[in-house]
Every structure is written in structure tokens, then in C-alpha cells.
Structure 1
Amino acid sequence: MPHKKPVVVVSRKLPDAIETRMMELFDTRLNVDDHPMTKAELIEAVKVADVLVPTVTDRIDAGVLSQAGPNLKLVANFGTGVDHIDLATARSRGIIVTNTPGVLTEDTADMAMALILSVPRRIAEGERLIRSGDWKGWSPTFMLGHRIWGKRLGIIGMGRIGQAVARRAKAFGMSIHYHNRKRVHPDIEGELEATYWESLDQMLARMDVVTVHCPHTPATFHLLSARRLELLPKHAYVVNTARGEIVDENALTRMLIRGDLAGAGLDVFEHEPAVNPKLLALDNVVLLPHLGSATIEGRIDMGEKVLVNIKTFADGHQPPDRVLASMF
């Protein structure tokens, strides 16, 4: 008798190549119109699924997981961050959670570097001016920004993405500083010529640009609080390609309006997809719609990791990208 294929429910539209392979390997239910699933739809999904494949737009909380049928044994997340999944409830119900680490490192680091360049050099502001038809021509003092060569970059979270950003920034002549839960290996510090700060407060007070690369957990919620943002020099820029909840968005907005910060580059927001309307009115802010990992190559690599995690699990083995609550 042939082995029964696991029922896999996919919460959003994935690249065609990935969806096709999923249909071949598993008893797969796709989200054809790519609508964000409601809580009721997620509950319906976990009642019937052996495997749920959610994304960052889905809240897989205790309310959803408590309705799971007896067959749900794997949540194979399409993405690295798992702050939208209640890991404790999953563990208590014997549900394994996997993610897709590593494949988005270079893409997210590219986007962070793009923002580090864009904000001080007023790139988005200049582009808007051209499109408006208001540009009157070059002059020596027109739209002056700031050089990034020789500036200090403070990296919050020196994991894979933080290190990839440091390599790029070092090539642009920036001086690398970082704060992390634990100090990185001396070889990495040496390669990046990076200065470690045990105290985040002390690092912030000395930086020209600060970029966020830690996961969102209860411990990192509003890590850049109003108090910490006020430690930054007035000429400093804040860049966030991690998670919006790590930065107190209201406090950041107030400081930008008052001129207590020079600018910000944000790819993520505290209440996505909602963006603080006051941020929209500011010229010294570059706002992007969560594009950090948005490359065709990255999405396919993510999908392939999801496939491997499900297939390994279905074959009775430990999936390679299992998430443990202690990791986050």
C-alpha cells in the first residue's frame, strides 16, 4: 500500500516552482489568490493539516494552535523570523516548528546597505524632486547630504546578517561597532576590525549610523526605546531591516520631526502594513514595503528549505531547521 502523503496547507502564494514541487510531493492546499488568511481560516487549516506552512503575515498564536487537530505535527515557516508563532504552545502540543535560516542573509544585508547609503545621501528625496518637476539645476550647496566613508556604524545583532552588513560597510570605509548578546569569535572581529560594546547604551551614544539585525522576541521589543533613541547623537541615522517592533516607532517619529535625529531608513514597521502617517510626511526618511528578502533567488531558496524540512519530517527524521524556543 502506498505511503499516505501528508496534508500540507500553505498560507500564501509561493513561487510557482515551489508550489509545483509541493503538489508533487504532498497533498497540498494552496492559497491561489494570495489573500492574507483570517484567524478563522487559519483555525480551519490547523484542524485538517498535518503540516502548516505560514509566513510572517500569519499570527499562529495560542488561539490558533489550541484548535489544531491531532494530525498537526509540523509548522514549517516560510521565513527566518518566528515571532508570529507561539513557540511555547507549539512545544506543549508536540508540534515541531521549522524556519528558513541563512538563505536571506545576503539579500537583507544588501537592503540594509542600500538604506545606509540612501538616507545620508538623500537619494529618495532627490528622486522625488526629479519626478515632481521642481528641480532647477545643479548648484554648489544644493541638497547636501553626508559622506559615509569614515563614519561609525553601530550594528545591533551580530549574527549572519549583521556580519554580512559589516563586510559591506567596511568596504565603504565605515568603522564597524556592534552590540550582541555575546561577543563574536576573535577571528570575525579581526576580519571586520569590529569594536564590541557590551553596553548598548554606550555604543549608541557614539554612532553615526545604527542598523538593527536582531530577532524580535519579548526581550528585544522596543529595544530601541525612547530613552535609548535619545542617547543617539543628533546627526545619527537609524536603519531597520529586521522587525518593526524592535524600535519604538512613535518615539522615533517624534525625534525625527523635532530634528533630534538626522534621518531613518525603514523597511519594517511596528504595525505593518500600517505606517505612522507622520513618517510619511518626512523627507529625511526612506520607507520601503518590507523588501529586505524580496529577491526571486531568495524566495526560491526559502521554498526549497521548507520543502526539505517537510520531506525530512514526513520521512520520519528530524527536520534540519528545527526552531527551539531557546534560540530566540
Structure 2
Amino acid sequence: MSDAVPDLDTVVREIAEEMADRPDRGEVATYIPELARVDPKAFGIVVIDADGHVAAAGDSDTSFSIQSISKVFTLTLALGMAGDRLWRRVGREPSGSPFNSIVQLERERGIPRNPFINAGAIAVTDTILSGHQPREALGEILRFMQFLAQDPTITIDEAVAASELRTGFRNIALANYMKSFGNIDNPVDFTLGVYFHHCAIGMSCRQLATASRFLAHSGRNPLTGHSVVSPERAKRINAVMLTCGHYDGSGEFAYRVGLPGKSGVGGGIIAVAPEKASIAVWSPGLDASGNSHLGRIALEMLTRRLGWSIFGA
């Protein structure tokens, strides 16, 4: 029996072909009206290995709303500004509750359980906003994404942002509730405006996989050698992604895929195979936890075929 490593391009192409034929595609998000318009048949995947080789298949260059994937990058920015003081405002534990739950906030006196549920990401956004005007803070987030993805064309989908502003009543409630406990420093409408807009950034799988490379390689871009964060901080961000990156489906994702990752209700998922590759998949249909149904299945196939789970082959 051969022990040859499977060819990355072949594995990625085969997975995309298998996903194209599957009838079980999940349900697109409808609570944000603009997301309900997305074609549920779409599927894209990109893997960028440590040498910079890009394996891509399907709708890999189609831009989509990254939604909560942006929370990984705002967390990175906020830690750069506040350091470990950030953890006084937001925890690092899995929530076990829906991503927009208000029940835990009441029980835990306005301190969100982790930075990837909505309340936690709003608190993180408030940290970035402090000392800035909303337009300045948003510009800083967008420029950071463009820098990491090496693509200045990345923009915010204003239609999606407007759609979220019109329908984001639960997020408005979460922000006001945290404000009542003193965990939001800025005017609530300023913080929410920045939050809704960074969730509405549009990116492709190729751009997201490129932007995530620093997390796969101890905090630096392996091609340029540029350090984005320290190895210690990259390790910590990856740890929170592993335990909290998929809402109350995080345990299932760790069990099946075995990689740090972060999902968004736009159907995207980024994942990190430490020192091996950064990965992005997109399939708009979601499971009951709000994670891409086929995206998770595709990542499980990928890690199984390549032996990339951090828990071993």
C-alpha cells in the first residue's frame, strides 16, 4: 500500500465535485433579507499551503458576505489595541447558546461569554471604536482586511449593512443591555453601526484564505515574512476559534473537522491547519446552529483525506 501524500489540487477538486451533487444543502439565512437572495447551489473552496500554493475549486472567487468571520479580525485588532485588558470585557468560554442570546448576558452581568457570539463581538467592536469616529474605526478594520488579503479592492456591501441595520433588533437589545452594565463605552448606535458594517464586508474564499494565513503560521505571513501578531497571540486566537468559532455547534465542528475555524451566516467558514495551510469554504445553506452545512462537511472530508486534524490522523 502506498503512503504517498494525496495531491492537494486533486483533493480540493474532488471535494468540490462531491459538494456540487449533494441535495442536502441546508437553508440560507433569511433574517437578514439580503442574505436570503443568495443562490443555495453556490460552493467554493480554497486551500493555501505553507509554500503559497493555492488549490481552488468551485465558486472560489465569488464575493459573499463574510458576516461573523469578520470577528476573528476585529478580535485581532482589539487585542493589538487593548492587549489582555480586553478579556475583562469579554470571556473566552463556549456559550452553548444561540449566537444572539440575551439570557447569558443577564446571568453574567453584561460580560459576553466569548468574542465570537454577537454580544462579544459588539464589545470587541466598541474597543476598536474608542477614541475614533465610527468612519475612522471602520476604515481601520477594512484596511486591515485589505492588507491581510493583499487586495485593496475588498469593500463593504452597503445593501447588506443597510439590511442588518433595518432588522438588527436583537443586536440593538444586546448592545443596550451591555451598556446598562457599563460594558459599552461609546454611543450604542455608533458601535452598532461599525459592527453591522464590518459584518457586511464582502470577500471571496481566495481572499479569506489569504487573509487567514498569519493564523496558520505562528502570526506571520510565510511569503512576506511580515509578522501580524506574536506566535503566542496567534496560538490564543486559534484556541478561541477552536472552542467558540461555531456558536453552539463548536464542539461538533471540533469533533468532525479538528481544526480551529470561524463561520459566518453568509455561509463562509475559515479554518486553520497550523503550519500547513489556511482554508476557506463557502456554501450559503446553513445548519440549525447557523453554520454552513456543506462547508463543514467539505472541511471534514479535507482533514480526513489529508490527515490535517490537530488531533491526529
TM-score by length of 1: 0.28
* Greater RCO (CA < 8 Å, at least 6 residues apart): 2
Bigger radius of gyration = 1
